[in-house]
Amino acid sequence: MKRLILASALVGCIMGASAQDLIERPTFGDNWQLGLDGGITTPLKGHSFFGNMRPTVGLHLGKQLTPLFGLGIEGVAGINTSTVNGGRSSKTAFDDTYLGAYGTFNLTNAFCGFRCEPRPFTIDAVVGIGWMHDYVSYGSDHSNIGAKAGLNFNFAVTDHFGISLKPSVLWNVTGNGTGHDDQGLDLKRANFNLTVGLNYNFGPGFECVNCPDNSAELSELNGRVNALRAEVDGRNAALAAADAKNAELTAALAAANAKPAKIIKENNLESVRYVFFKIGSSVITADQQPNIEMIAAYLNNHPKATVQVRGYASADGPADVNERLAKARAESVKNALIKRYKIDPKRINAEGEGIGHMFSEESWNRVSICTLDAD
């Protein structure tokens, strides 16, 4: 119950712009009330209202469970000062008694709202049920079920003492021995009671604690949330840009793949010739002369053809020496074509390419590769 009250009050703190209080219920030993009641009782209908009026006394013990609801038990006795119920009189000092349980509902807190400051005046609605007994001088005594309804007008005198004015109606629900056989809430089987209660309240009542002011923390959290949202938006924008670029590249690749393949130059045995050299040498040996002759013959048969000569060296020896050796091998082929076969130098492009890695056999990389172009 305590958790429910705290949770309800916390929701009120959050949702109400001006609600800054949290209800806190004390322990089980708090909020008890012990009271002494005294007043008058008389039949409500079917008998003389004032002629049958007599004193009544009682005790009650109750506990306020929440700012709205309370429970309790009470005992009430009517003092024998007159005859009632068709001339029957009591054979004891009391002509009737009632012992029952009751529940209260705080109308003031329900309709005006709970507040932390103690109220000087409150109104409770009261309903109860219990056992009632008639004491008569003849015949058998009668035990019945009683039902009660009324109001408590509560006035706070101090923090612990109070006075209550209690008008109520007490029905004999079963009706045995009253001259009425029907059962239920019949006013002919009801007494009107008006009592004054002197009450002592145990405990501090229902207190309030301030709801914590988390506005600064909430503002900071909102700022962090907004920053994270901005970061997410930036990443989403970057992702969208990357997706657009990817789509553009994909379209370009698809367009390139759709174009027919164009072979710019085809290197085969007819257009490429190799001139191999000995280690550390750029001199064309006799066994490589036929390759030179084949290159010269092709150039003579195709007046517009040119030749690309690329000289290479193996990885043996110093790198700077191999660079010069590769260039010398290309120049050696070029000079042979010019001097021996009278090929126009403009049709020959000779360059050294340094260390060659074309062949897994290292000695084969001591070569000049001659590529013929008929264009």
Closest-CA residue to 128 (of 91, 99, 165, 162) = 99
Digit-coded pLDDT (tens) for 175-223:
755 454 556 777 888 889 999 999 999 877 776 666 566 788 888 899 9
Digit-coded pLDDT (tens) for 283-326:
999 999 999 999 999 999 999 999 999 999 998 888 889 999 99
Domains observed in the chain: 28-210 (2.40.160.20), 272-373 (3.30.1330.60)
* Distance (Å, whole) CA 81 – CA 43: 14
Which helix (H) or strand (E) element contains residue 54? strand 54-64
C-alpha dihedral, 162 to 168 to 173 to 178, nearest 10° = 120
Mean pLDDT of 224-231: 93
Closest-CA residue to 154 (of 191, 128, 183, 126) = 126
Note the pLDDT of residue 31: 87
**Percent of the chain residues topping a pLDDT of 70:** 81
Q: Which tokens hold the place of 363? A: 């000695």
Note the pLDDT of residue 35: 95
368 bridge partner residues? 275, 311
pTM across the whole model: 0.49
Digit-coded pLDDT (tens) for 129-170:
999 987 654 455 678 899 999 999 999 999 889 999 999 999
Question: What is the pLDDT confidence band of residue 81, given thresholds at 50, 70 and 90?
Answer: confident
